[in-house]
Amino acid sequence: MIINHNITALNTHNKLSSASAAQSKSMEKLASGLRINRAGDDAAGLAISEKMRAQVRGLDQASRNSQDGISMIQTAEGALNETHDILQRMRELATQAANDTNVGVDRGEIQKEINQLSSEINRVGNTTEFNTQSLLKGDGKANLSLTKVVSDGSLTSGATTHVQATQTTTIGTPAGAGDSATFTLNGQSLKVNFTASGSNGGAANDSKGYNVTSNSASAAIDATSTANTTAAGIRDALQKVIDSNETLKGNYVVSGSNADVTITAVAKAAGGEMFGATGNIAAATESGAIAFTGTSGAASVGTTSYTQASKAINLNSLEVTDAATTDANIKALVGKGFTVNDQQIEFYDATAGSYKGSGIGVAINTALETAAFGSKGDALAKAVADTVASKIDGVTLTAATGTLTVTASSKFLGEAGNAIEVKDGGIQEDFKATFQVGANKNQSFSIDIKDMRASALGITGKAGDAGFTAAGSVTDGTSSVAKEAGLDVSNHENASAAVKVINDAIEKVSSERSKLGAFQNRLEHTINNLKTSSENLTAAESRVRDVDMAKEMMSQTKNSILAQAAQAMLAQSNQTPQGVLQLLR
């Protein structure tokens, strides 16, 4: 018998530790529901499980991506539904206009609706967006670059003289209570009343010389205030009324000294509404004791010089395939072009058929016939200038020695470069989007949507072209500026031809909607497949990572009993050395 080492107790303790550790792991697994709580539980299984989890989460996100893609497609298709309705109405109107029971006045009213409906198709195309991305106006990018078209971004400026309307009125007699002065600006009547102290809106001793009433078209002045000389009071009050009028605010400045009241139209950086027309400032009239002397409201004109922006485009430096002087190299420019103020100018080959682009088409053939290939810059510049003419709002194009010069018209005067922008550009491409529809690289799906604006559908064209109105009558839908010409329905022949054009447009929209519907159907199948894959992969990952609760409960029960038994045996083992004491008695 030995007492220094209780081997039985040591053995029992080892067994107890082992059973307790196994019981602890079983309880951890039962509490978490996972078979693998740490890498030590199953190193290989953990790596496999994490890879599966990445796939599952990728599949779930791809499913959401596909649903977002369907939302984008539905946005575009829903907008085209409205375009379809508009085209159906236009076809109905064209059919009506083709009937000679209608006279010119009747067809004129039909033309108005045709124009407005065409503008609305442009609005739908220009403003339909998904997450700020325009869906129905193409990609907005240049697919073919002409890097050397714009030789540099510098602007030249020349002094151009324009008249600026002013009017000076001299006040002859001091005003008294009950007197008034009336001015007319842009057809709006503005009245300044002199009142007794503190009455009818006149503030007693008003140091500023005015007190605007609830009527923003008039002001009242205290006639007894020593701070109000007659002309000074009128100047202050008139400026206050102008500043409170939304239409006139910022367009007129009132100045003067002594008995003068001078009204000046404000120079605009863009818009030009206040330039040139002396009628913008009409005569003033008197009432009561106020007497106007001098020219009594006659408008005078002063000359003011404003910078006029222009930009040169060197067409001699257009890149071609090689230096050989062949017509083929000129024709290599087909499909290329540039934009001015967002208006595309594109070269096309007239021998291959009519122009199919969405911008202003310039026939390469015209350039070839105009001059020899050696003067290609001169030829192209002249062809562009002749074709574009005044079709781009706010600018004019002129050609000389291979250089095309873009110059702001008078309404765009102001800082150099204002309203002039020239960029490389080519034929408008379709809108394209790529959806990530899988959990891994290169698992994507692409869609495209064509330009669905009026010009691309063929229902608007250039003013004066066959089948279209003589003047611009259709806007882009977001402004009131007519940039395109609508289908002409002024007689039987044109209206009947318009029916065919609208039919073709309806077919284009139908084709595009059909394509979008096919995209959507495909994505719906994609979502179903992704969900099935995610479900099956989740089940596989579960088998690796999750614990079998019933089996683990059996193991935990076994380990619990073993631990309890080991504890009892440890107690017995600790009693064994007590037998030595029997020998000492």
Query: CA of 196: how far to CAs of 178, 206, 286, 526, in Å?
Result: 8, 12, 18, 82
Higher pLDDT, 555 or 270: 555
User: What's the pLDDT at 135?
Assistant: 93
Higher pLDDT, 334 or 511: 511
User: What's the pLDDT at 141?
Assistant: 47
User: What's the pLDDT at 82?
Assistant: 96
Average pLDDT score over residue span 396-421: 63
Distance between CA 77 and CA 186 in Å, rounded? 46
pLDDT for residue 142 is more than 70: no
- pLDDT band for 474, please (50, 70, 90 cuts): very high
Of 15-29, 157-171, 384-398, the range with the highest mean pLDDT is: 15-29
Average pLDDT score over residue span 226-253: 75
pLDDT for residue 461 is more than 60: yes
Cite the DSSP H helix spans in 410-491.
454-457
Residue 187's SS3 state is coil
Distance between CA 180 and CA 288 in Å, rounded? 7
- pLDDT band for 170, please (50, 70, 90 cuts): confident
Average pLDDT score over residue span 294-309: 48
Q: What percent of the chain has pLDDT over 70?
A: 68
> Cβ-count burial of 279 within 10 angstroms (0-12 exposed, 13-18 middle, 19+ buried)?
exposed
pLDDT for residue 223 is more than 90: no
Distance between CA 483 and CA 275 in Å, rounded? 23
* Arithmetic mean of pLDDT over the chain: 76
The answer to whether 281 touches 265, Cβ cutoff 8 Å, is: yes
How many helices (DSSP H) and strands (DSSP E) are in the chain? 11, 22
Average pLDDT score over residue span 521-542: 94
User: What's the pLDDT at 21?
Assistant: 84
User: What's the pLDDT at 309?
Assistant: 61
pLDDT for residue 44 is more than 50: yes
Please compute, for residue 11, the number of CA atoms within 13 A of its CA located in the half-sphere on the CB side: 6
pLDDT for residue 152 is more than 70: no
Among 177-191, 298-312, 385-399, name the one with the lowest average pLDDT. 298-312
User: What's the pLDDT at 337?
Assistant: 73
Average pLDDT score over residue span 226-250: 74
- pLDDT band for 156, please (50, 70, 90 cuts): very low
Among 257-266, 482-491, 565-574, name the one with the lowest average pLDDT. 257-266
- pLDDT band for 172, please (50, 70, 90 cuts): low
Question: Do you know the residue count of the chain?
Answer: 585
Average pLDDT score over residue span 149-168: 48
User: What's the pLDDT at 370?
Assistant: 56
Distance between CA 562 and CA 19 in Å, rounded? 6
Question: Residue 310 has which token pair?
Answer: 């222009």
Average pLDDT score over residue span 151-156: 40
Among 40-49, 368-377, 452-461, name the one with the lowest average pLDDT. 368-377
Of 140-149, 171-180, 366-375, 576-585, the range with the highest mean pLDDT is: 576-585
Is-above-0.75 flag for pTM?
no
**Where is 538: in which H helix or E strand?**
helix 492-545
Q: Which of 6, 2, 20, 80 is CA-nearest to residue 556?
A: 20
- pLDDT band for 259, please (50, 70, 90 cuts): confident
Average pLDDT score over residue span 399-404: 74
pLDDT for residue 50 is more than 80: yes
User: What's the pLDDT at 329?
Assistant: 55
pLDDT for residue 302 is more than 80: no
* The Cα angle at residue 247 between residues 243 and 248, in degrees rounded to 5: 45
- pLDDT band for 281, please (50, 70, 90 cuts): low
DSSP codes, 232-292: HHHHHHHHHHHHT-TTTTTTEEEE-STTEEEEEEPPPSSS-TTBS-GGGB---EEETT--E
pLDDT for residue 423 is more than 70: no
User: What's the pLDDT at 516?
Assistant: 96
Higher pLDDT, 505 or 361: 505
Diameter over CA atoms, the chain: 149
Among 268-277, 315-324, 373-382, name the one with the lowest average pLDDT. 268-277
Distance between CA 35 and CA 46 in Å, rounded? 10
The answer to whether 40 touches 46, Cβ cutoff 8 Å, is: no
Among 217-226, 293-302, 397-406, name the one with the lowest average pLDDT. 293-302
